């Protein structure tokens, strides 16, 4: 019963947060100066007729309150509206973008975790050695690079070797066979994914190294050494498992940003994801697209945090207190 109460409480809290975020998103963008109509009506010979026609088409001739109620009503029916710019359903446009972003950011986050854990463990294992200094120094250095700068540098360095933009070779009339397509998508992912990995893995390295050093000083590690276990076995079978708890926290927090964290990288590599779509829509005051984009970002952060709460609850029942 106590478990159910906790889950219910967290669930309600998440729903209220989503509602507040939805409301905030709706009004926030309308507070900004400028609108889609003034942008779209700036074409040769545009007159008041075009301006009026666009206002009616976008529903902007209604009061803000009416627009808000209509937005909420449509949202409850799963309807995110129609993009002002593309005149297509936002859910359709953003779903494809979301898939692309999850693909890129997911691979980037996963790669950063794997690389960060490996380099953190190695750094702690060989602490104070040249390898540790080199490893930790490099991780800290790339961690401090802005993703967009590093992306541009990689773009220049690997020009002609790796694809520079997009997510596959698009100039083909017929769908390519599965494996060549897979290799093609993979090759287009290399640079943006590498950018994400390089700018994120340093954080994991430093946390894992610190946690590992603490764990390696525990009595049970000394006991294991005394029993004659090999270093490799002590590190990978005993110490790493216990040092992973802070990483669970970090991953849980990072997962919430998987969807929204790759905006600049998507723009640099022309990756057609959610970040790029939201960035473009914001400049065009395409309210349905912006609201839809932010809704997905908000919901993903809240849901993943909710998930993290549940995982914590499962790991440590004291969190419900």
Segment 276 to 305, residues that bind another protein, using CB under 8 A: 276-277, 280, 282-285
Subset of residues 154 to 193 that bind another protein, contact rule: CB under 8 A: 155-156, 159-167, 169-174, 176, 178, 180-187, 189-190, 193
Tally of CB atoms within 10 A around 151: 24
Q: Which is nearer to another protein, 29 or 313 (CB)?
A: 29
Residue 45 engages another protein in binding (rule: CB under 8 A): yes
- The closest alpha carbon to 126, from 200, 197, 198, 216, belongs to 216
Among 7, 60, 70, 102, binds another protein (CB under 8 A): 102
Q: From the CB of 15, what's the least distance to another protein, in Å?
A: 26
Q: From the CB of 107, what's the least distance to another protein, in Å?
A: 5
Candidates 69-77, 93-101, 136-144, 307-315; binding stretch for another protein (CB under 8 A):
93-101
Residue 53 engages another protein in binding (rule: CB under 8 A): yes
CA distance 308 to 294: 21
The answer to whether 293 touches 94, Cβ cutoff 8 Å, is yes
Residue 91 engages another protein in binding (rule: CB under 8 A): no
| 3-state SS, residue 88 | coil
Q: From the CB of 282, what's the least distance to another protein, in Å?
A: 8
Among 10, 30, 57, 126, binds another protein (CB under 8 A): 57
Q: Which is nearer to another protein, 123 or 281 (CB)?
A: 281
Residue tagged 């610190």 (tokens): 210
How many binding residues for another protein (CB under 8 A)? 83
Question: CA 227 → CA 107, 223, 238, distances in Å?
Answer: 40, 6, 13
- The closest alpha carbon to 305, from 251, 261, 263, 262, belongs to 251
Q: Which is nearer to another protein, 76 or 170 (CB)?
A: 170
Q: Which is nearer to another protein, 191 or 234 (CB)?
A: 191
Mutual orientation of helices 147-157 and 178-216 as an angle, nearest 10°? 130
Residue 82 bridge partners (DSSP) = 89
Q: From the CB of 43, what's the least distance to another protein, in Å?
A: 5
Kindly calculate the radius of gyration of the chain based on its CA atoms and give it in whole angstroms: 24
Subset of residues 227 to 286 that bind another protein, contact rule: CB under 8 A: 266-270, 272, 276-277, 280, 282-285
Residue 63 engages another protein in binding (rule: CB under 8 A): no
CA distance 143 to 11: 35
x/- map, 188-227, another protein, by CB under 8 A: -xx--xx---------------------------------
Mutual orientation of helices 287-315 and 274-284 as an angle, nearest 10°? 140
- The closest alpha carbon to 266, from 101, 153, 154, belongs to 101
The answer to whether 289 touches 85, Cβ cutoff 8 Å, is yes
């Amino acid at each position: 019963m106590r478990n159910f109460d906790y889950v219910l409480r967290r669930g309600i809290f998440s729903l209220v947060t989503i509602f507040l975020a939805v409301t905030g998103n709706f009004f926030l963008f309308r507070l900004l100066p400028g609108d889609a109509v003034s942008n779209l009506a700036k074409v040769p010979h545009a007159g008041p007729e075009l301006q009026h026609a666009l206002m009616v088409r976008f529903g902007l001739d209604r009061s803000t309150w009416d627009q808000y109620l209509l937005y909420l009503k449509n949202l409850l029916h799963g309807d995110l509206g129609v993009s002002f710019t593309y005149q297509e359903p936002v859910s359709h446009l953003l779903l494809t973008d979301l898939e692309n972003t999850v693909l890129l950011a997911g691979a980037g986050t996963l790669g950063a975790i794997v690389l960060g854990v490996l380099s953190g463990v190695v750094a702690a294992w060989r602490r104070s050695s040249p390898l540790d200094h080199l490893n930790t120094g490099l991780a800290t250095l790339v961690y401090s690079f802005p993703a967009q700068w590093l992306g541009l540098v990689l773009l220049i360095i690997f020009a002609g070797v790796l694809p520079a933009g997009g997510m596959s070779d698009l100039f083909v009339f017929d769908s390519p066979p599965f494996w060549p397509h897979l290799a093609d998508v993979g090759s287009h992912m290399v640079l943006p994914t590498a950018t994400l990995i390089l700018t994120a893995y340093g954080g994991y390295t430093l946390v894992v190294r610190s946690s590992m050093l603490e764990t390696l000083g525990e009595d049970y590690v000394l006991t294991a050494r005394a029993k004659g276990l090999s270093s490799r076995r002590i590190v990978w079978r005993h110490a790493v498992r216990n040092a992973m708890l802070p990483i669970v926290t970090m991953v849980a927090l990072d997962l919430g940003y998987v969807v929204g964290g790759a905006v600049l990288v998507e723009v640099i590599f022309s990756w057609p994801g959610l970040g790029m779509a939201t960035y473009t829509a914001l400049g065009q005051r395409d309210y349905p697209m912006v609201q839809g984009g932010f809704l997905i970002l908000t919901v993903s952060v809240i849901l993943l945090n909710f998930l993290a709460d549940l995982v914590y609850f499962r790991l440590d029942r004291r969190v419900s207190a």
